[in-house]
């Protein structure tokens, strides 16, 4: 076997190994993002028009989240929030639309105290998606009803559903459960 042939075989083998390594790394990263973000992964792929753009977005969310100082609340603060939630639910009987607005405000305050930025709904979704992707659909549904309620376009049953959705996120944030 000539030296040139041997060099060509070695170069081809190196190229194949490098290509396989890159493919494996990409698939591993994709699996990590799918596992971490759950249904949010597919939603982002659809919004961004493809997996590569979505994966860039989701990695950027992870990097932003890593810079946040998310903290667990002391037991006394958790108890106070739980009591506030009970009060909000009790208000539902007399004024369902007001209770949904109160629930939204309480969730936002809890997020803020935990260390999540609350600079608008889109930012809240982005930041929550990293650790709480499993409850984002609850939050989206509740927020949609809250917006329609402000215009008088939500039924009492929809408002009740919104309270259930807010409670799912509230409970997860309060107990520090994460969907990783």
Terminal Cα-to-Cα distance of the chain (whole angstroms): 54
Local confidence pLDDT in tens for the 180 residues of the chain: 799 999 999 999 999 999 999 999 999 999 999 999 999 999 999 999 999 999 999 999 999 999 999 999 999 999 999 999 999 999 999 999 999 999 999 999 999 999 999 989 999 999 999 999 999 999 999 999 999 999 999 999 999 999 999 999 999 999 975 543
Backbone torsions φ then ψ of 80, nearest 5 degrees: -65, -45
Q: Compute CA 161 distance to the chain's CA centroid, rounded to the nearest angstrom.
A: 20
User: Rounded to the nearest 10 degrees, how much is the dihedral formed by the CA atoms of 150, 152, 158, 160?
Assistant: 70
Q: Which pTM was predicted?
A: 0.84
pLDDT of residue 119: 84
Backbone torsions φ then ψ of 155, nearest 5 degrees: -80, 165
DSSP 103-145: HHHHHHHHHHHHT---S-HHHHHHHHHHHHGGGHHHHHHHHHH
* Degrees, nearest 5: CA angle 162-85-143: 25
- Please name the residues in contact with 169: beta carbons below 8 A apart, sequence gap of 6 or more: 107, 128, 132, 135, 138, 139, 142
């Amino acid at each position: 076997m000539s030296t040139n042939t041997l060099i060509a075989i070695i170069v081809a083998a190196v190229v194949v190994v490098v290509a396989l390594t890159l493919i494996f790394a990409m698939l591993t990263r994709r699996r990590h993002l799918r596992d971490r973000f759950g249904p949010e992964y597919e939603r982002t792929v659809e919004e961004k028009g493809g997996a590569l753009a979505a994966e860039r977005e989701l990695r950027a969310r992870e990097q932003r989240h890593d810079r946040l100082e998310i903290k667990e609340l002391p037991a006394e603060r958790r108890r106070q929030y739980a009591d506030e939630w009970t009060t909000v639910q009790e208000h539902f009987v007399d004024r369902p639309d007001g209770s949904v607005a109160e629930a939204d405000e309480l969730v936002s305050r809890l997020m803020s105290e935990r260390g999540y930025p609350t600079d608008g709904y889109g930012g809240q979704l982005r930041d929550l998606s990293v650790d709480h992707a499993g409850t984002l659909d609850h939050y989206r549904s509740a927020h949609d009803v809250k917006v329609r309620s402000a215009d008088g376009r939500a039924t009492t049953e929809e408002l009740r559903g919104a309270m259930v959705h807010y409670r799912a996120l509230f409970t997860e944030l309060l107990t520090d459960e994460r969907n990783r």
